[in-house]
Amino acid sequence: MESFVKNNIFNSAVLLGLFVAIGTGAVVFIFDKTREQIAESEKQYLLGQLHAIIKPDEHDNDIFTDTIDISNTSILKNPGPVTVYRARKSDLPVAALFTTYAPDGYNGMIQILVGIYENGTLAGVRIISHQETPGLGDDIDEAKSDWILSFTGKSLSNPDKPGWNVKKDGGQFDQFTGATITPRAVIKAVHNSLLYFKVNKALLFQ
């Protein structure tokens, strides 16, 4: 009887181990097969966002691979390195596009793409990802509202420094009904990108 019980326990352990091995192998196989597809989808999404700001006919370089990583982000107030995509035409600088963050959104980090022409004018701004409250803070998303498009054409001098605030704070940008923290965070991040660009333009395009 004791031998029978031991055999049953052994067999059960072997079967359990076999099921675990098969399950783990299946997960690894599926992950390996889909990893490249996921990476390609992410690349195409980001490339689409880059080209929503800088049109393909505005540059002739591979904007996705012509990048520089910024490690000193004290001006940008980012928690880590920032990747900057560079648009060029005939080897001349056209624009720099910052993948920056607003660290002080209402529900956490807001990832933003900020495009700045060589002359310091904003080519455009897009939200890459966020967790802001649906129906309130998510108006930063172009799919929900055209608010984010109001940055196009702005610069450090247009408006002046006080103007880089929501209207509630004496600035020129609209706030959202019941949600002021979110637009404040985005405005600050965009302004910080312009400040960094002004100080480090030569470094960005070297």
Name the band, by pLDDT with cuts 50, 70 and 90, for residue 6.
low
Q: Which long-range contacts (CB under 8 A, 24 or more apart) does 84-90 make?
A: 84/204, 85/50, 86/61, 86/204, 86/205, 87/54, 87/58, 87/59, 87/61, 87/63, 88/59, 88/60, 88/61, 88/205, 89/58, 89/59, 89/60, 89/61, 90/60
Tokens 């607003």 locate to 102
Dump pLDDT digits (tens) for 112-148: 999 999 999 999 999 999 989 888 888 999 999 999 9
- Mean pLDDT computed over 188-200: 96
Name the band, by pLDDT with cuts 50, 70 and 90, for residue 43.
confident
The pLDDT of residue 26 is above 80: no
The pLDDT of residue 71 is above 60: yes
In this prediction, residue 67 carries a pLDDT of 96
The pLDDT of residue 20 is above 70: no
In this prediction, residue 185 carries a pLDDT of 95
- Mean pLDDT computed over 98-115: 93
